[in-house]
Structure 1
Amino acid sequence: MGQPPQSERALVAALDRHERLIEVGVGRRPEVARALAERGREVVAIDVEVSEAAREASMEPRPSSAGSLRVVTADVTALASGGDDRSIRDGLGLDASENGFNAVYARNLPAELQRPTVALAERLDADCLFTTLGFEEPVVDVRRRSEESGTIVYVAR
């Protein structure tokens, strides 16, 4: 398990005030989603191909005071451009009683996924925060938030 890298700890700190979150592009590195769940948050982590590492992280036992981590195979582009809120819930594998996300976030978000990630956050009326691959500048309107670690977290809404 171990401690996430400094840039991921900065993202966790920036997201700490949110209760229900969606991580876009969890990939093979579920550390941010795991850390948020351990802080009592409910996280749905999505990717077009869910890795074994993400699946294992979602099945880890957590104390009763901890939150939850669910991983779902989903495409942010399809979710962002889909029909109504029901299509989002269906795409995330949620039942009708589950809604109300506070934030959509991503770490190392490539430029081509920034617009659909922000669009999904807008559809959910949620905050949108992300870090980039480092060599890319955001292609959406953002505020830059510099963390103590030197990491820049971009806030798109």
Structure 2
Amino acid sequence: MAPSPPSEGALADALDRYERLIEVGVGRRPGVALALADRGREVVAVDVEVSDAARDAASETRGAGGGSLRVVAADVTALTTTGDRAVDRAFGLDAGEGNGDTTGVDAVYARNLPAELQRPTVALAERLDAACLFTTLGFEEPVVEVRRRSTESGPVVYVAR
């Protein structure tokens, strides 16, 4: 695997303390999710449409010791309610019985998160009682309340929860 760009490394470093994570909007750049899986973390990457790059990255982690990367086709706006169980199933947390609460997710994160997806991403983290960290597209300011965490090697990481 080619070395990741500094911005990916900075975000992966900021997320390193979390064991089970959800990446929102993985797109065609699964570098952060893969880096976390390589560090022994359990990652579920979601996007409305799963790219071949994300699918290929997930297949690279199969059989690897410790960490895992799974990709799931899901819309973050649907995941903010208990009506969509795609991530629950991917983590093996909810069999569709009981109250539908998902437990065991430590953090929800996104890279280059556009303003229109910031509120739903934070709402998902709130639903899961998880931390929420993200980077923006660079030219946009966050539209949700955040703390800024500067990194030496990359972009500002925003902490919403």
Q: What residue in structure 2 maps to residue 134 of structure 1? A: 138
Structure 1 runs (4+) deviating above 6 angstroms are: none
CA contact (8 A) 1:142 1:156 kept: yes
Q: What residue in structure 1 maps to residue 5 of structure 2? A: 5
Flag the 1:63–1:127 CA change in 2: closer, same or farther, 3 A.
Answer: same
**Aligned Cα root-mean-square deviation (Å):** 1.6
Flag the 1:61–1:18 CA change in 2: closer, same or farther, 3 A.
Answer: closer
Q: What residue in structure 2 maps to residue 119 of structure 1? A: 123
1:15 lines up with 2:15 in the alignment: yes
Flag the 1:61–1:36 CA change in 2: closer, same or farther, 3 A.
Answer: closer
CA contact (8 A) 1:143 1:155 kept: yes
Question: Identity percentage over the alignment?
Answer: 71
Flag the 1:78–1:62 CA change in 2: closer, same or farther, 3 A.
Answer: closer
Structure 2 unaligned regions, length at least 5: 95-101
Structure 1 unaligned regions, length at least 5: none
- More divergent stretch after superposition (63-72 vs 45-54): 63-72
SS of 1:60 mapped into structure 2: helix
1:79 lines up with 2:83 in the alignment: no
1:153 lines up with 2:157 in the alignment: yes
Question: How many residues are matched?
Answer: 152
Q: TM-score, normalized by length of structure 2?
A: 0.89
One-letter amino acid matched to 2:156:
I
Question: What is the rounded CA distance, in whole Å, between the counterparts of 1:150 and 1:32 in structure 2?
Answer: 13
